[in-house]
């Protein structure tokens, strides 16, 4: 039997459908029937060739959900439960983290391990069905698998998508406490997930900044206390909404370097600022170290990547908070495999909040 | 009896000696005979009028050491010990922190309390002997007083000076662990104290960056493992000295905005960066949020001011580590009250590491 | 005009109503018309003479809410807002924390300051209207006052009562993260508030242990995921509900020493355990340091008292989460001043969840 | 060629010398010529059969140092440096941590991974040369290897022994800050290493408690500020030495359950207490949760095991602090393989501080 997969052969060219062979399943591997995969901003970056070291042709799609089709002998999920055909699972796109180097063992900074590979990004289509935009996904031996709790449908999981673990990592670093005011910069998938998770962490005021009315509306539906357009008055408006002090916590999820200076200005003295949106290089920003950092007694943290704990705990969080926030309403449109070029164009133009591939 | 004090009447003018009345001592107040006071970079800023809200004329000198001359009834030090005439003490220059506002009680950020006043900086000479460049210092009721341990001579205390509590606060934020590599930017009084305290905190490698050969030599005497000039090769040299990874911890104590970008580049992935040297506004710096913060998973912390705990623990630290580092060797010259203008000029021109006033 | 107050003249005797003079109001002081005051377990301890150093006769009632009747000149709340007649406020019962001693300034442990006094507990009725079981409460100069947000009615505030700031302190120490499982031991006012705050902090499973069916029902109404009776199977049942591992976080709010051993057994390896319920000495417990602490890699924290931040943030939390949990349903009965002896008997017998005095 | 190894065939019997075959070296494995191995308290426990699940016969010796004799192809140390014949290395005795389970990936608690195995403890002699009391040690593929820095001789490494990484883990948890007073309970190898590391972390007073005069003398040589015998006055004496408050940090390394209650009593209010010495079950202790934990606002942490980071950073620490403390003076005697029964008897009787096997 053959498997249809959408392949990005090289940057700047239309993605094409390939017919690929169904793989043989090694011991310890798992074959998934793809139920849904995500199109996210990173895929647009891949399409424009903005990431270094990508082994085109690739099958994009790093966050996905599938049903177990076959396993290479006994394979267990992270809870140690043996997988069976039909189980609905997701997995950590990051694989081959070595657990043997200084980054992994001494710095305990596995997201910076130089050996890590990422499904849908740094595996080549020549190596197999190693991305989500495909009817099947091949999980190599050792890929970390999480069975979705019964409360979490495939639709719910993919609606939260890669924004959820990314935002969860950022929210963890922010150490939000009961009663904190939290400002989120950017209302894309990461920012919207951060808006929900900040509320779920005890924030009593969550403001969201975004230049797009569509996204500000999405933020309000996700429970934002107040939204702010990106204007000359924005900083003053946020200060006005936070007793003139600024927010206890600011989470940057915009990707815009200028946002970093504004975020410093909108955080309170002694506040915490987590920068998670600067995943690709969009250029520099001018900061005043005296006014923006030193005198403010500000803590700023860069947040890079996510790991299995964020996937696992994200699944728990959706099981509990899935009904409290309109996650699935974030899915603007579902696309067939044959429509992935449209999906990419829609995400790039920000015509959609969330684009989902249903192969 | 009259008291001689050096008064900075306004910016840009020579400091002049005033003859002032010996004050009446309120209940709870303490009069000190000044043994030594410091001339630090802040005093140069005061001389140039770079700080806002200074009520000239002022008696500068925020870190000082003195002998108790008289007390207004029973007055105790922070340990609850009753002070007696002749006791050698120091005190927290910051006073009138209100312990009643949101900053003090909710944010627990007393160094940002809007009501705080600072001896030698924000008290006017019209209000009394409220600065160290004077034969006597009047400690108002409620000023926090620390008796120096017997191992800590007045000379030792003033040699460490205000650099010690400032550096101690920064080193606390950096949470240095056994085996860390630490890079200090700037070898002025704060940087040199940070160099010593990093070693005392378990760092196994302490590098120091400074453009002045005099200061690099001082850093080596303070036990730096390696010193680096500020050149085009500096970043590469530091990476070369730290397994190509960068330092686990970077402490900025230079006052130069450009140092902040360089510090980001010299910190390792997942490193911690404390910015303490940007006490006055020396302009902006260009950072790349992607490369310098986000992808690095870097933690940056601004460090503003110090509090009584840093003075108290600093005195303990000197009692223990005083002999291990050549603190008193940092005193380049002692000046009489009549020589304060010379002292200011020497500090400004960086002809001295540490200038001490002996009234 | 005279003021009626309920006075506990000495332990083991009925509380009696005194007619007291309306006080003169010093500069900086505030007189409140009491709207509601609480009867809590501590009051029963006072009644039985179990606390040391209590200056009987006293007016009990440490958490209260009132309307401003008069102020001694301009007096501000913690936000710096000037108080006006009729404002609905609460206040921190702890007063005279010195902000001058080693505990306050070096250890930064203000709840252990030896100078602190507590309204309703360590002030004598001879000193004035310094407890909540009275028609008026006299707030001395410097008492920390928080104006209730409009969303927080006096009824809502007193329903949460002193359990709220106490639980908030404990929940802060527990550092609950999104996805954590939390077990609360004890469903009295502190435990029920902890149950709500754990949910509001991101816990995805909150179990509650209590021997009383009435209290277990209250816990379920407060949103507990599951309740457990105190039986021989309890530990096994909780392990069974938490993947066999135990809870990520355990919060002890029972007052029973045996609970501490059980809590160790119900926490997971590497879990966090906060002990807040052992406010009075109820005797010892046997622990096995190897099995309960060392091998478990367990973190245990004692939690003593609360401070203004917990009151302030608690008020914010109620403004946001007040409607989400049935706080006011916790009030079992309201008592007039003349009925305080009944109230004490009901609290002692655990016939009520929460008893409120409406003077 | 055959290899001589000391084999503990079963509990309570003399250890015997076996002649074993030199192993074939798989790809990724390393064969070491043993330079020194340790006899520690755990080996006595093994000898008495006090640990569960030990697959006798075993070759004891979990911390060792050796010279590379041969490698199975290219094998690198943790820094990524290729190993060569003659390199002096040590290794993490813990192996087969799975990096795939909930403990490893979600709780990030690798020392509690159920799959971990330990050289010298949970590997059988039937499986090969998997313990240090042998002329050769076989490092299976994936064992984490650390090359000793040139400043760290085999003698220095083994003198610090397994006490060093264990104490480093405990000292990390204690988060010692400049100026802290630290009390260490127990002056065996872990306690003596903790005594040194506490000083190296910025403690300005380090007290040590031990019942043995020999060990108290060793503690003084390791730089203890003051030593205390285990007497009825001990608690009072320690309080007297710490301003009547107790130590900021207490580190338990005694193995005696009673020490845990005493430790609570000797820690200050709000102090931190790390319990690392209760590695085996020596029975219960009675604590008073009110007085010892809750009212003290005490933080207690159990510390279980160590990981590669503690070995790696421990090697760095010895390179820096090796000369500052008389580590090698801790070696009371060196034993040939044929003398291991004597070594065990000497360790059991506490006739030696540190016993080293030189095969």
pLDDT in the model for residue C1 = 73
Record: contact C202-A204, CB cut-off 8 A: no
Record: contact B286-A286, CB cut-off 8 A: yes
d(CA C253, CA B173): 33
Q: Where are the domains of chain A?
A: 2-147+326-357, 163-302
Nearest C-alpha neighbor of D279 from the set D251, D259, D305? D305
* Dihedral angle over CA of B286, B288, B289, B292, nearest 10: -110
Percentage of the residues of chain A whose pLDDT score is greater than 70 = 100
pLDDT in the model for residue C185 = 98
The fold of D164-302 is Rossmann fold (3.40.50)
Q: Residues of B with CB below 8 A from D316's CB?
A: 179, 204
Average pLDDT, chain A: 96
State the pLDDT confidence band at A15, using cuts at 50, 70 and 90.
Answer: very high
pLDDT in the model for residue B181 = 98
Write out the two tokens for B186. Answer: 């700037």
d(CA A201, CA A168): 10
Range of lowest pLDDT (C109-118, C190-199, D192-201): C109-118
d(CA C254, CA C194): 12
Count the Cβ atoms, other than its own, within 10 Å of residue B178: 24
State the pLDDT confidence band at A174, using cuts at 50, 70 and 90.
Answer: very high
Q: Any idea what DSSP says for residue A213?
A: H
User: Which distant-in-sequence residues (6+ apart) come within 8 Å of B78 by Cβ?
Assistant: B144, B145, B146, B308, B312, C100, C101, C102, C105, C106
Query: Per-residue pLDDT tens for C267-295?
Result: 999 999 999 999 989 999 999 999 999 99
Determine the 3-state secondary structure of D291 from DSSP.
Answer: helix
Record: contact B179-D317, CB cut-off 8 A: yes
Count the Cβ atoms, other than its own, within 10 Å of residue C231: 11
Q: Residues of B with CB below 8 A from C80's CB?
A: 101-102
CA distances (Å), origin B25, targets A75, B71, B72, B74, B87? 81, 7, 5, 12, 17
How close are the terminal C-alpha atoms of chain C, in Å? 16
Query: What string of pLDDT tens digits covers the 359 residues of chain B?
Result: 799 999 999 999 999 999 999 999 999 999 999 999 999 889 999 999 999 889 999 999 999 999 999 999 999 999 999 999 999 999 999 999 999 999 999 999 988 999 999 999 999 999 999 999 999 999 999 999 999 999 999 999 999 999 999 999 999 999 999 999 999 999 999 999 999 999 999 999 999 999 999 999 999 999 999 999 999 999 999 999 999 999 999 999 999 999 999 999 999 999 999 999 999 899 999 999 999 999 999 999 999 999 999 999 999 999 999 999 999 999 999 999 999 999 999 999 988 989 999 99
Q: Residues of B with CB below 8 A from D243's CB?
A: 79
Residues of A with a Cβ under 8 Å from any C Cβ are 79, 168, 171-172, 175, 177-179, 197, 200-202, 204-205, 243, 312-314, 316-317, 319-321
Determine the 3-state secondary structure of A208 from DSSP.
Answer: strand
d(CA D81, CA D319): 18
- DSSP-assigned states of every residue in D167-203: HHHHHHHHT--TT-EEEEE--SHHHHHHHHHHHHTT-
Average pLDDT estimate for C120-130:
97
pLDDT in the model for residue B350 = 87
Whether A1 shows a pLDDT value over 80: the answer reads no
Residues of D with a Cβ under 8 Å from any A Cβ are 78-80, 97, 99-102, 105-106, 108, 142, 144, 307-309, 312-313
Candidates A79, A105, A144; nearest CB to D144: A105
d(CA C295, CA D281): 10
CATH 3.40.50.720 fits B163-302, yes or no: yes
Record: contact A202-C204, CB cut-off 8 A: no
Write out the two tokens for A183. Answer: 């400002």
User: CA-nearest residue of chain D to A142?
Assistant: D100
Candidates D268, D289, D300; nearest CB to C278: D289
Residues of B with a Cβ under 8 Å from any A Cβ are 102-103, 107, 109, 111-112, 243, 245, 252, 257, 260, 268-270, 275-291, 293-305
User: Which distant-in-sequence residues (6+ apart) come within 8 Å of D54 by Cβ?
Assistant: D46, D121, D122
Count the Cβ atoms, other than its own, within 10 Å of residue C102: 21
Average pLDDT estimate for A56-83:
97
Record the pTM. Answer: 0.96
The angle formed by the CA atoms of residues D87, D89 and D91, to the nearest 5 degrees, is 150
Nearest-neighbour CA in chain C from A318: distance (Å) = 9
Average pLDDT estimate for C108-115:
92
Determine the 3-state secondary structure of A150 from DSSP.
Answer: coil
Query: Per-residue pLDDT tens for A221-275?
Result: 999 999 999 999 999 999 999 999 999 999 999 999 999 999 999 999 999 999 9
Nearest-neighbour CA in chain C from D208: distance (Å) = 20
Candidates B279, B297, B302; nearest CB to A298: B302
Q: Cα D286 to the chain's mean position, in Å? A: 27
Record: contact D100-A142, CB cut-off 8 A: yes
d(CA A147, CA A129): 20
Count the Cβ atoms, other than its own, within 10 Å of residue D10: 12
Average pLDDT estimate for C245-250:
98
Average pLDDT estimate for D164-184:
98
Helix (H) or strand (E) holding C158: helix C154-160
User: Which distant-in-sequence residues (6+ apart) come within 8 Å of A333 by Cβ?
Assistant: A343, A346, A352, A355, A356
Query: Per-residue pLDDT tens for C12-63?
Result: 999 999 999 999 999 999 999 999 999 988 999 999 999 988 999 999 999 9
Count the Cβ atoms, other than its own, within 10 Å of residue A342: 14
Write out the two tokens for B275. Answer: 């910015």
The angle, 0 to 180 degrees and rounded to 10, between the axes of the packed helices D163-174 and D189-200 is 50
Q: Residues of A with CB below 8 A from D100's CB?
A: 78, 142, 144
Whether C236 shows a pLDDT value over 90: the answer reads yes
Record: contact C269-D109, CB cut-off 8 A: yes
Query: Per-residue pLDDT tens for D268-277?
Result: 999 999 999 9
Whether D1 shows a pLDDT value over 90: the answer reads no
Nearest C-alpha neighbor of B161 from the set B88, B89, B252, B64? B64
Superfamily of domain C2-147+326-357: Medium-chain alcohol dehydrogenases, catalytic domain (3.90.180.10)
Nearest C-alpha neighbor of D170 from the set D44, D338, D48, D306? D306
pLDDT in the model for residue B1 = 73
Q: Which chains touch D (3 or more CB pairs under 8 A)?
A: A, B, C
Record: contact D296-C304, CB cut-off 8 A: yes
Q: Residues of B with CB below 8 A from D321's CB?
A: 204
Decide if D162 contacts D189 (C-beta within 8 A). Answer: yes
Q: What Rg value do the Cα atoms of chain B yield, rounded?
A: 20
Query: Per-residue pLDDT tens for A107-159?
Result: 999 889 999 999 999 999 999 999 999 999 999 999 999 999 999 999 999 99
pLDDT in the model for residue A89 = 98
Candidates A79, A172, A320; nearest CB to C177: A172
């Amino acid at each position: 039997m053959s498997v249809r997969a959408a392949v990005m052969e090289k940057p700047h060219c239309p993605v094409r459908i390939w017919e690929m062979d169904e793989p043989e399943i090694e011991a310890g591997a798992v074959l998934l029937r793809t139920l849904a995969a995500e199109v996210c901003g990173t895929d647009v970056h891949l399409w424009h060739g903005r990431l270094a070291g990508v082994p085109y042709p690739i099958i994009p799609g790093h966050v996905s959900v599938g049903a177990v089709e076959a396993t290479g002998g006994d394979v267990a999920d992270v809870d140690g439960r043996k997988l069976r055909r039909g189980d609905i699972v997701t997995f950590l796109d990051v694989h081959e983290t070595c657990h043997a180097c200084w980054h992994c063992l001494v710095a305990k900074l596995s997201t910076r391990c130089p050996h890590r590979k990422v499904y849908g990004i740094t595996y080549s289509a020549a190596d197999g069905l190693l991305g989500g935009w495909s009817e099947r996904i091949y999980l190599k031996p050792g890929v970390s698998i999480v069975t979705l709790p019964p409360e979490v449908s495939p639709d719910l999981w993919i609606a939260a998508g890669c924004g959820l673990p990314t935002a969860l990592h950022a929210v963890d670093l922010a150490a939000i406490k009961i009663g904190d005011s939290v400002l989120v910069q950017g209302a894309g998938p990461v920012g919207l997930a951060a808006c929900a998770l900040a509320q779920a962490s005890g924030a009593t005021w969550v403001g969201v900044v975004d230049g797009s009315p569509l996204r500000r509306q999405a933020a309000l539906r996700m429970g934002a206390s107040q939204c702010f357009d990106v204007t000359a008055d924005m900083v003053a408006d946020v200060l006005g909404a936070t007793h003139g002090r600024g927010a206890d916590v600011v989470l940057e999820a915009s990707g815009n370097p200028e946002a970093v200076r504004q975020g410093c200005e909108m955080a309170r003295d002694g506040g915490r600022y987590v920068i998670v949106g600067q995943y690709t290089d969009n250029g520099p920003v001018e900061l005043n170290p005296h006014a923006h950092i030193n005198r403010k007694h500000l803590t700023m943290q860069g947040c890079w990547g996510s790991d299995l704990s964020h996937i696992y705990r994200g699944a728990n969080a959706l099981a509990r908070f899935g009904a409290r926030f309109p996650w699935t309403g974030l899915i603007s449109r579902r696309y067939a495999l044959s429509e992935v070029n449209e999906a990419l164009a829609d995400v790039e133009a920000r015509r959609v909040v969330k684009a989902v591939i249903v192969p």
